[in-house]
Chain A
Amino acid sequence: MSGTDEEGGLHTGSRVNDFAVKVATVNGTGSASANGLILKVIHRMEIPVSGKNVFPSNIQGLPTWYELRMSRQGHLARTPRFDLIVAMNPSTYARDVAEVQPGGWILYDDSWPLSKTLIRPDVTYLGIPLARLCIGKFAGSRVRVLMKNIAYAGALAALIGLDMDIIRELLEETFSRKKALLESNYVAVALGYDYARAHFDCPLPIRLEKMEPGHRHILMDGNTAAALGCVYAGATVGAWYPITPATSVMDNFTMLCKRFRTEPDGTKNFAILQAEDELAAAGMVVGAGWMGARAFTSTAGPGIDLMSEFVGLAYYTEVPCVFFDIQRTGPSTGMPTRTQQGDLLTIAYASHGDTKHIALFPADPEECFHLTVAAFDLAERFQTPVFVVSDLDIGMNDWRIPRLQWDDDYHWDRGKVLGEAELAELESFSRYLDVDGDGIAARTLPGVSAKGAYFVRGSGHDKHGNYTEDEEGYQEVVDRLVRKLETAKSALPAPVIGRREGACALLVCLGSSDAACREAIDLLAARGLAMDLLRVRAFPFSQDVDALLAEHDMVFVVDQNRDGQLCTLLVNETSVEKAKLHSVRHYSGTPISAVHVLDGVLPVLDPATDGTAATSRSTRQAKCPRLQA
């Protein structure tokens, strides 16, 4: 977390490339462009940075925030501790002023006086008459509002040391064809920059310094990366119904297909179907997957609910298809523009009857890309729905990730598909016959051969694909589905395991909790408490997950949901003793931070930090002795 030293206390002196800024603005005023610009400048200064949008379910007029965290150590999880607040929205002044750390700064528009009730003695106020400056320079209210945002970026350039050359470079890239806009942006940046330099001691102790160009990183959101994964995996049919925060998966797939999948004559080797609802989107994906195309849909929790009936059909009829769930805060409509990991249980067992599904959990956009490609292979290899479970934090925020790499030796795995030649060698074809003993029966594609024709039915069927209400015939098929998923376990992406010497406990997480957990483990190590990390990347869990759980007497399971859904899945699907699991939960709608993890872990791991746990202090301390420094 920003602003913490090794013991988790606050820094007081100069902090280069290690602090956090929060920008409070109004939705729909163009602040996203200014914030995006700031993020990119810092990124191009080679400083590890994350930018998280905290936005309302609204197009224009409601408060919105943008959180920037810079960390030279590369800790890029969200931090709830802000050193500088850019307060541009009077309607949230009170909340914003309260959020800044003692010793921090508040940059605000002093075109109008600040209410006395907002004055804190422990922070420094930096007033810049941004609105007044913009009124003097620009004509038209819309332009003035837009330029005010660019002006605060200019002020930040002076205050925290954004590189002015890179700002110019980025503005030129953005407005290369709109010279007038380029000029006004320059003017606006200079307004803020010059005023700050003239009135304040610039830069502040929290400031940026260019770092050495290291690995070649990019800034990309997870939905773009997932869409790119679909293109690279050879997906040809995308069906969807618009829903926040999943919409940009299909928007990006559309954009990328226009570029990569359009023939010179304008014809397309893809089809994107905007369905009437998520039920239809799921049906389309099942239809296309059955027909032999790589097909996918992208949605969020409410969509998954509607798709569940088709998910069960695809599971039972063994049709490959890929579902993206970009999770948001539930239940019901919940907070559609806030993040959560609330759909884990829904997805694991989606649909009625006995079902269980393969789910992959990317932790960042880089994994969104690679696990998407894996999802299509797994779906076809195991002829079943596969879920890529991301969330709003990964999907809609720009993350600093290594440049995506592609191995040209990769070739898709279509699984067991019998063509005309293979069918000719068979006496007869039975759709659900386990010939190889791995639980996976070979399929055929419609229209290829009369011999391979069969009837897909959601009703009871036997191993030949025929309708049945016969006890044994029915049971034989559903039992084989269990064996098929057992086979799948070893083919799923392996968990990521981080071991620390002398570890006394295990921290388990998935998806976007990763960065916060890794940072928490570093902070604990600094306190002399060593923990292993287990990040699961797939469901059903592999043997490795079971083994690592068995190794530890104390296991903390981190969930970004109220009910500890990952914890429930571990209890349900591994042989772990329930008593040794401690659930750590964060579910307010904001991305989890290391602070949240520590708050959940420390009272148990190190009761000295928590008076309420003092009674069991001695035994617990014995369980987890501090390492000698």
Chain B
Amino acid sequence: MTSIKKPRIYMPKLERNALGLTRMDYEGGMSTLCAGCGHDSITAAVVQAFFELGLPPHRAVKLSGIGCSSKTTAYFMPQAHGFNGVHGRMPAVVSGANAAQRELTYIGISGDGDSLSIGLGQLCHAIRRNVNMLYVLENNGVYGLTKGQFSASSDLGSKSKKGEHNQDGPIDPVSMALSVGATFVARSFSGDKEQLVPILIAGLRHRGFAFIDVLSPCVTFNDHEGSTKSYTFIRKSTSEVVGTGFVPIKEEIATQYESGVVHPVTMHDGTTLYLRKVDASYDPTDRGVAYANLRERQERGEIATGLLYIQEDSADLHVREKTVATPLRDLPFESLCPGSAGLEKLMDEYL
């Protein structure tokens, strides 16, 4: 079977963005995932985010590893270059690609097997390098393509479709990301597009590694009673800590800000991100506060969602490496090769 192209339907009245493109221009091939898969909702949110951002699709780069989640890069922006690599190794590919071309917008889509088992090391180290990218972990707590094994994000005691209870403790991707120094950490739910889309946009605008754990139920292998990654369980347990929005009306915000509920963050591109805090005392720019709040809610059986932590003034890989402004891959040969004169001089040091 080959990939399925979606039919293009002429719809002149569709909403257009600043580039004159419609949402359809950001949609990709037909999904081959199961009907009702949370991942497809995330794909729709990604499409919406890129559409709203008004980014030319060919200036975006989409990468993934292996697994159901990693298939989804084929389902959005066919005019963006894509890279579906090897299992768990997408972060390394992005690191190299980004080192070579710093001007493009990088989005990586991964799953809990790809990110927390085989690729846990790669994820941690891409976070440490603060590669400028948006990393979406589509988290369903199960291996779908191999038919239902527990993953590293499966909760202790969570029941598999076959009725087994998970014996190993989970890796919480959000706690992990915070602990290794991620500069943008969020959690959302595939079923909450209103929350997810602004977070995706904020993540794409963030300079550095933007990490989003998106709970995304697997309708075939992990949506039953006793699973902690089912639609029902997630709906019941999620609790928004911080809401995200790019609100254009300044006065309104100013009023709200005075009340201590809205926290503005200036993004490196000059736009302002407004974070609506559920609890006025929460500070999303304080890693310690974010971590403590997360733990507290975990103990209460709640799943904290929203943009939980952001550090916007962080130095990304290129700032740290002090690379030139021109993408390395575009540097002309003449500026890279020291020529015979340079060599001749150097040789004198090896006599």
Contact = CB atoms under 8 A, between A and B. Distances in A.
Interface of A: 43-44, 218-220, 228, 231-237, 239, 260-261, 263, 266-273, 275-277, 279-293, 295, 309-310, 313, 403-408, 410-412, 445-450, 452-459, 462, 466-470, 473
Given A267-B325, A309-B86, A469-B1, A284 B93 contact: yes
Given A288-B329, A404-B343, 11 more contacts: A267-B323, A267-B325, A269-B326, A285-B96, A288-B97, A289-B96, A292-B100, A410-B337, A446-B61, A453-B78, A455-B73
A291 B102 CA distance: 10
A277 to B, nearest CB: 7
B98 to A, nearest CB: 8
A457 B73 CA distance: 11
B57 A287 contact: no
A535 B80 CA distance: 46
Contacts of B86: 283, 309-310, 313, 458
Contacts of A313: 85-86
Contact of A446 (B1, B97, B124, B340): B97
A239 B91 CA distance: 13
Interface centre among B2, B82, B93, B94 (most CB of A within 10 A): B93
Given A276-B122, A287-B94, A446-B104, A453 B329 contact: no
B9 interface: no
B161 to A, nearest CB: 26
What class of interface size applies to chain B in its complex with A?
A: 35 or more
Contacts of A269: 323-324, 326, 328, 331, 335-336
Nearest to B318: A271
B229 interface: no
Interface in B298-328: 317-318, 321-326, 328
A236 B329 contact: yes
Contacts of B57: 450, 453
B121 A271 contact: no
A452 B83 CA distance: 14
B337 A446 contact: no
B212 interface: no
A290 B126 CA distance: 18
A237 B100 contact: yes
B337 A232 contact: yes
A121 to B, nearest CB: 43
Interface centre among B2, B89, B328 (most CB of A within 10 A): B328
Given A450-B56, A466-B2, A288 B100 contact: yes
A483 B24 CA distance: 40
B33 interface: no
B99 A268 contact: no
A292 B329 contact: yes
Interface centre among B73, B91, B317 (most CB of A within 10 A): B91
A293 B328 CA distance: 7
A275 B340 CA distance: 32
A28 B56 CA distance: 58
A234 B342 CA distance: 14
Contacts of B92: 239, 275, 279-284, 286-287
A267 B61 CA distance: 25
Contacts of B78: 453, 455
Contacts of A263: 324
A283 B91 CA distance: 8
B324 A267 contact: yes
Interface string B201-238: 00000000000000000000000000000000000000
